[in-house]
Amino acid sequence: MSSTPLDKIRNIGITAHIDAGKTTTTERILYYTGVSHRIGEVHDGNTTTDYMDQERERGITITSAAVTCEWKDYRINIIDTPGHIDFNIEVNRSLRVLDGAIFIIEGVAGVQPQSETNWRLADRYNVPRVIFINKLDRTGADFYRAFDTLKEKLDIVALPLQLPIGIEDKFIGVVDLVEMKAIVWEGGELGAKFHDEPIPADMLEKAKEHRQTLLDTALAVDDAGMEEYFEKGDVSVETLKRAIKTGTITGAFRPVLCGTAFKNKGVQPLLDAVLDYLPSPIDVPGIKVAVEEGEEEGDHQRRIKADPSAPFAGLAFKIINDKYGTLTFVRVYAGTLKSGDTVMNTTKGEKERIGRMFQMHADKRAEIKEVIAGDIAAFVGLKDTGTGDTLAAAEDPVVLERMAFPVPVIDISVEPKTKDSVEKMTLALQKLAGEDPSLRLKTDQETGQTILSGMGELHLEIIIDRLKREYGVEANIGAPQVAYRETIARSHTETYTHKKQSGGSGQYAEVKIIFEPLERNQGVVFENKVVGGSVPKEYIPAVEKGIRVQADTGVLAGFQTVDFKYTLVDGKYHDVDSSALAFEIAAKACFREGMKKANPIILEPIMDVEITTPQDHVGDVVGDLNRRRGMIQNQESAGSTVTVRALVPLKEMFGYISHLRSMTKGRASFTMQFHHYEPVPRNIADEIMAKSA
């Protein structure tokens, strides 16, 4: 893409809880790096990365936007991600393809639920991180309290590289513990001007103490640095930075910086930290190649290293459709690719010709002729490539590890307002579902309605809004429904014979299947234990398919059946009358009969809810949560506010925000995210079954 050497490229994400200041920080970064000549503000609806109408109107990030900037001869590709849990898929896929991340937490509340979720996602993909404690200008901000929540809630070795000078409206700068100096912002020119000065006398002792902790922790990962310390009694800035980078990349500790992006303080040192401590594409071990079926995952897996001269390998991580067609975002891991080249989609086994290629800057784009290892770019012209697919050179057709996507928990029915829009709506929804793997589309087999499943009310609201604005389809929406699941609580063996042999060619198949419950989130597992050919090999896939299809409609209330294993142990066939169809029909009927006897139960999604409320409303909030079948997990006080955390069934949370507002006169706020599925109480199961009857 450009001539920037690989060691001077940083592919990073900015991730955090909602409203922690990701987009605000990104705006400052773009301003200080000269990409933009004014600072956009979230509350004014004019930021660079929140370019969708819905983002600007609501002041939230919905889709992750890619922007590129230059800082001190380095190229930084940044992805700004959403904070709201409903759009967690964006965080998931961004972290999957990034080499590092800035993790922002709020200086008042510290680590919040969504911070924990995103942190664990970053852990899953081993993404090195620097932490930025933001909003230190806010009333109630406390760097040290926020810092403590890092250790308490994330269970990490957090290592401060800076200490704040002043707090709230007196916050003026930071003590840099690496170079032992103060950095003070001068107030004018939108934070572009700052200067170094000696550490304030009243902070010197504290700074020395924290620097010793910094040396202790950082040098523990760098023997040469230890030797330098023993020899000189200190280490050079270069040595210390090298040790911090090693510890950051290996995850031995997590460096912590601080500031207030909104008040334009602390962002430039944060950019320096990105260069100094986050890895370039060649500093990371390389992406793993997916294992063959049946093979265990582990350290033996081949890794693709960032090498421009190696065969091409890239991962499609995001797809958007706009007026110019379909844009496929690709992280290039190895090789070089030019527009017009042909590659393999090794996930699907199809050839793909690369049309035009673009470097993206939020919703703007610059055409490029070539991409190389380490780049993130958008391709036009790919026909069959979906999110998570690998593109690779034919001479080394590797398949990279796929991405994991969250399970949707809310359904709504949707139908066009006019009959002639049916086809238009279906096409539009298919396109939207193609962009967003956390959105599922299905047709209710009984009512014929189109059912849209998503991550939350806001997620589906935005989709319906996009349907109207981008595709011109007005739709009637049903009330949101909980995405219940069904499963079984005990094992049962069922034998079923499908027989239709009255004249002409008949149908005959018998199957004996053991149905067993599995732990949550294990999905549906099939095992074939037939011996002696009692069910011929060619009919086994039909049995497997029959059960999988039938499992979409559970025996209690028609919900998808999950977390069970079915083992085909025996059966019978007829030389003339047996067929794949007959075995599929037998398997479906065996499921319907067998599951009824295996103690079927309905599962409901349980949400992790966190409510921040003024102290005088805690009683009302807790009482209300109890009425909603909530299980209080803990309560924590911070100043005059209390944070209540509870596990509450999703069914009880519809419309909660307006109730909470009226209960607390608009002073409380809440967040929630999916936690787990759990069996519903008997009386509610009866209600659900009665409704579906």
Partner 1 sequence: MRLRWARGRGTIETMTGPRASEWLGLDDAGNPIARVIHLDGPMHTERGVFRAVALDAEQKLIRLLPLPPNDGDWLAVIGGRVVGRAAAPLAAVRRVEAAL
Alpha-carbon span 356 to 380, nearest angstrom: 5
Residues forming beta bridges with residue 566, ordered by sequence position: 515, 526
Q: How many helices (H) and strands (E) does the chain have?
A: 16, 37
Residues 229-248 that bind partner 1 (CB under 8 A): 229-230, 246
Pick the stretch among 115-123, 211-219, 523-531, 594-602 that binds partner 1 (CB under 8 A).
Answer: 211-219
- Give whichever of 215 and 278 is closer to partner 1, judged by the CB atom: 215
What are the backbone angles phi and psi of residue 386, rounded to the nearest 5°? -110, 175
Question: Does 209 sit near partner 1 (CB under 8 A)?
Answer: no
Question: Does 215 sit near partner 1 (CB under 8 A)?
Answer: yes
| CB 147, min distance to partner 1, A | 17
357-361 and 507-517 strand pairing? unpaired
Q: Residue type for 249, please?
A: I
Residues in the chain, overall count: 693
Q: CA 88 → CA 83, 405, 525, distances in Å?
A: 7, 9, 27
Pick the stretch among 225-233, 423-431, 445-453, 619-627 that binds partner 1 (CB under 8 A).
Answer: 225-233
Give the position of tokens 């009333």. 139
| CB 245, min distance to partner 1, A | 10
Pick the stretch among 10-18, 51-59, 220-228, 445-453 that binds partner 1 (CB under 8 A).
Answer: 220-228
Q: Residue type for 181, please?
A: K
Pick the stretch among 222-230, 362-370, 458-466, 578-586 that binds partner 1 (CB under 8 A).
Answer: 222-230
| CB 95, min distance to partner 1, A | 19
Alpha-carbon span 122 to 641, nearest angstrom: 29
Alpha-carbon span 644 to 624, nearest angstrom: 12
| CB 561, min distance to partner 1, A | 41
Given 216, 295, 297, 616, the residue binding partner 1 (CB under 8 A): 216
**DSSP category for residue 616:** G
Residues 629-668 that bind partner 1 (CB under 8 A): none
Diameter over CA atoms, the chain: 101
Give the position of tokens 């029959």. 546
Given 221, 240, 587, 625, the residue binding partner 1 (CB under 8 A): 221
Cβ pair 374, 9 in contact under 8 A = yes
Q: Which of 592, 571, 593 is nearest to 582 (CA)?
A: 571
| CB 209, min distance to partner 1, A | 12
Pick the stretch among 112-120, 192-200, 217-225, 270-278 that binds partner 1 (CB under 8 A).
Answer: 217-225
Nearby residues of 379 by Cβ (< 8 Å), 6 or more positions away: 327, 328, 330, 354, 355, 356, 357, 358
Binding letters toward partner 1, positions 246-285, x by CB under 8 A: x--xx-----------------------------------
Question: Does 686 sit near partner 1 (CB under 8 A)?
Answer: no
Residues forming beta bridges with residue 528, ordered by sequence position: 568
H-type alpha helices, 107-160: 113-124, 143-154
| CB 305, min distance to partner 1, A | 15
Alpha-carbon span 607 to 675, nearest angstrom: 5
Question: Does 217 sit near partner 1 (CB under 8 A)?
Answer: yes
- Give whichever of 246 and 560 is closer to partner 1, judged by the CB atom: 246
Cβ pair 492, 598 in contact under 8 A = yes
Given 35, 180, 184, 226, the residue binding partner 1 (CB under 8 A): 226
User: Residue 104: enclosing H or E segment and its boundaries?
Assistant: strand 100-106
- Give whichever of 118 and 217 is closer to partner 1, judged by the CB atom: 217
Alpha-carbon span 646 to 675, nearest angstrom: 11
Residues 387-446 that bind partner 1 (CB under 8 A): none
- Give whichever of 39 and 284 is closer to partner 1, judged by the CB atom: 284
| CB 246, min distance to partner 1, A | 6
Alpha-carbon span 637 to 643, nearest angstrom: 6
Given 220, 320, 368, 518, the residue binding partner 1 (CB under 8 A): 220
| CB 248, min distance to partner 1, A | 11
Q: Which of 556, 551, 621 is nearest to 590 (CA)?
A: 551
| CB 216, min distance to partner 1, A | 4
| CB 31, min distance to partner 1, A | 36
Given 179, 196, 205, 227, the residue binding partner 1 (CB under 8 A): 227
Given 209, 223, 297, 616, the residue binding partner 1 (CB under 8 A): 223
Alpha-carbon span 239 to 417, nearest angstrom: 66
| CB 232, min distance to partner 1, A | 12
Pick the stretch among 111-119, 210-218, 539-547, 574-582 that binds partner 1 (CB under 8 A).
Answer: 210-218
Residues 106-125 that bind partner 1 (CB under 8 A): none
- Give whichever of 221 and 463 is closer to partner 1, judged by the CB atom: 221
Pick the stretch among 130-138, 216-224, 401-409, 634-642 that binds partner 1 (CB under 8 A).
Answer: 216-224
Question: Does 324 sit near partner 1 (CB under 8 A)?
Answer: no
> Which DSSP string do the residues of 20-69 spell out, in sequence order?
SSHHHHHHHHHHHTTS-SS---GGGT--SS--SHHHHHHTS--S-EEEEE
Q: CA 669 → CA 58, 161, 614, 675, distances in Å?
A: 16, 32, 10, 19
Alpha-carbon span 346 to 511, nearest angstrom: 36
Pick the stretch among 43-51, 143-151, 221-229, 486-494 that binds partner 1 (CB under 8 A).
Answer: 221-229
* The two structure tokens encoding residue 164: 């704040």
- Give whichever of 192 and 220 is closer to partner 1, judged by the CB atom: 220
Number of residues that bind partner 1 (CB under 8 A): 15
Cβ pair 609, 589 in contact under 8 A = no
- Give whichever of 196 and 234 is closer to partner 1, judged by the CB atom: 234
How many Cβ atoms from other residues are within 10 Å of residue 280's Cβ?
21
- Give whichever of 157 and 422 is closer to partner 1, judged by the CB atom: 157
- Give whichever of 302 and 369 is closer to partner 1, judged by the CB atom: 302
Pick the stretch among 138-146, 224-232, 416-424, 639-647 that binds partner 1 (CB under 8 A).
Answer: 224-232
Residues 140-179 that bind partner 1 (CB under 8 A): 157
Q: Residue type for 315, please?
A: L
Q: CA 202 → CA 30, 134, 206, 208, distances in Å?
A: 35, 23, 8, 12
Instruction: Give me the residues that bind partner 1 (CB under 8 A), please.
Output: 157, 215-217, 219-221, 223, 226-227, 229-230, 246, 249-250
